Amino acid sequence: MIEPRFRTLFLSLFALFALYGTSMTVIGATLPKILASFHWNYQAAGIVIGAGAVAYFLATFIAGFLVQHWGPKATILLGLALAVGGLAFFAATPSLLANTLLSALIGLGQGGVEIGVNWSTLRMDTRNTGRPMNLMHGAFAVGAILGPMAVSLLMRRGLDWTVVYRGMAVVFLLLAVLMAFATLPPVEQKATGHGATPERLGANPAYWLSFFALFLYVGVELGISNWVAEYFVAVFAFAPAAAAMLVSLFWMGLLAGRFGVPLLYRGSRPEAVLVGLSALATVSIALLMLLGQATRNAITGDLGGGLVFLAGLGCSIYYPTVITLLGRCFRNAQSQAIGFAATGGGIGLFVFPFLMASIAQHWGIRAGFATYALFALAMTLVGAWLGVIANKDKTAPSQVARP
């Protein structure tokens, strides 16, 4: 799946992206401790988390231009420096202002890492199969699972929960040293194609479709991950400890798809797999909502657990495949296109938690899940449209990166 000349670089980026995944979930995992230790209310916590989300989607947009002009290495190193600075001091003080600024610093760093790694992985996929990108985003899922587990282990052993932030800062710093000596794919502008030049980015519908695709996807992924435990407690009367495992079950479905699809699918039509799995996510979420309307017994709840896994499996390859399809559509302006698409995801990261909370507050959590089923359907339709556009450029010559 990975060409021999790229394997060492791919493994380095894989480790970096796994830690990046951890950094995206660790604040949520430590949130109960933050609230108890600093005596914050939900609004204060929302300000801190929201600052990171806003900084992230601003950084993803800017990083697209930085990769084009500075190259991926400088962009990743800048992102790592910002993340290290934020993680080294986050939660060291109860000050709301200080932690808001530090959260924003972490978000800026995450945005730079996101775009730099995605662009580099896309350049390593010289056959446009999408398999390297799926594997890379599997690393994110690994980190997203291991981060909360590490936090739980630290707490059970009675260690200071803030140690996790200092430890991540140290590991990010070590990875920055490693990346400083790595040779990443160069920025080239040789190939041509539909909407490939920076001046014509907005003329290609794929530019806007990718933005809305990732906006919807991040909303659905984040919504299910954040609310599925509460859904099972409120609807199926699960114990909180048992319901918490459903979050891991959802991410296990994501992990299974991101590793399983590259291993099992040998074809050259990632857009077809994207639509099929997106439809699976839509059906699974809709059935989960209908199941909650029908009954509240434990047996039905156990069946719902299977639907949660399938929802994760259905979401698994959406993000990396959208990025891969963008590589077909924008061969000379890939970094700007990826940056703009990721900005859509960043805005979804900020908007959807407030949207879901409002819907659940006024109409109940079942209505919230019904809304997510509609978002998943929209996500599927947008992905299908993007696939049609990208397929037109399928036979165009691809860029060959030679680090």
The residue type of 171 is: V
pLDDT tens-place string over residues 271-284 = 889 999 999 999 99
Q: Based on the domain organization, do 281 and 167 belong to the same domain?
A: no
Q: Based on the domain organization, do 179 and 326 belong to the same domain?
A: no
Choose among 178, 226, 184, 188: nearest CA to 53. Answer: 226
Choose among 29, 242, 54, 258: nearest CA to 141. Answer: 258
Q: Based on the domain organization, do 227 and 89 belong to the same domain?
A: no
Tokens 């209908």 belong to which residue?
Answer: 290
What is d(CA 164, CA 150) in angstroms, rounded to the nearest whole number? 8
Q: How many separate domains does the chain show? A: 2
What is d(CA 35, CA 29) in angstroms, rounded to the nearest whole number? 12
Q: Residue 349: its pLDDT value, please?
A: 81
Domain boundaries, position 213 = 195-396
CATH of the domain at 309: 1.20.1250.20
What is d(CA 329, CA 399) in angstroms, rounded to the nearest whole number? 12
The residue type of 43 is: Q
The residue type of 184 is: L
Last residue of a domain, one of 186, 213, 236: 186
Q: Based on the domain organization, do 145 and 252 belong to the same domain?
A: no
The sign of the torsion formed by the CA atoms of 251, 253, 254, 259 equals positive
pTM: 0.76
Residue 209 lies in a domain: yes
Nearby residues of 49 by Cβ (< 8 Å), 6 or more positions away? 27, 28, 103, 353
Residue 401 lies in a domain: no
Last residue of a domain, one of 186, 221, 245: 186
Q: Based on the domain organization, do 80 and 15 belong to the same domain?
A: yes
Cα(first)–Cα(last) distance of the chain, in Å? 18
Q: Based on the domain organization, do 115 and 211 belong to the same domain?
A: no
Task: List C-alpha distances in Å: 137 to 19, 321, 330.
Answer: 12, 10, 21
Q: Based on the domain organization, do 169 and 213 belong to the same domain?
A: no
Q: Based on the domain organization, do 259 and 137 belong to the same domain?
A: no
Q: Residue 113: its pLDDT value, please?
A: 95
Residue 152 lies in a domain: yes
Last residue of a domain, one of 140, 161, 186: 186
Q: Is residue 142 within 8 Å of 255, Cβ to Cβ?
A: yes
Instruction: Tokens for 45, please give them.
Output: 């916590």
Instruction: Tokens for 330, please give them.
Output: 């924008």
Q: Based on the domain organization, do 104 and 199 belong to the same domain?
A: no
Residue 380 lies in a domain: yes
Q: Residue 117: its pLDDT value, please?
A: 94
Q: How would you write the pLDDT of the chain (403 residues) with one tens digit per residue?
A: 788 888 899 999 999 999 998 888 788 777 778 888 899 887 788 788 888 888 988 998 899 889 988 999 999 999 999 999 999 999 999 999 999 999 999 999 999 999 999 999 988 887 777 788 888 988 988 888 887 778 777 777 777 888 889 999 999 999 999 999 988 877 765 444 444 444 477 778 888 999 999 999 998 988 888 778 778 877 887 776 677 678 778 888 998 998 888 888 877 788 889 999 999 999 999 998 888 665 555 556 678 889 999 999 999 999 889 988 887 788 777 778 888 888 898 888 888 877 877 787 788 878 888 899 999 999 999 999 999 988 876 544 443 333 3
Task: List C-alpha distances in Å: 111 to 56, 108, 199.
Answer: 5, 5, 23
Nearby residues of 229 by Cβ (< 8 Å), 6 or more positions away? 240, 243, 244, 246, 247
Per-residue buried b or exposed e for 34-66, using 16+ beta carbons within 10 Å of the residue's own CB = beeebebeeebbeebbbbbbbbbbbbbbbbbeb
Instruction: Tokens for 309, please give them.
Output: 């896994």
Q: Based on the domain organization, do 271 and 204 belong to the same domain?
A: yes
Q: Based on the domain organization, do 222 and 332 belong to the same domain?
A: yes
Q: Based on the domain organization, do 219 and 294 belong to the same domain?
A: yes
Q: Is residue 309 within 8 Å of 250, Cβ to Cβ?
A: yes
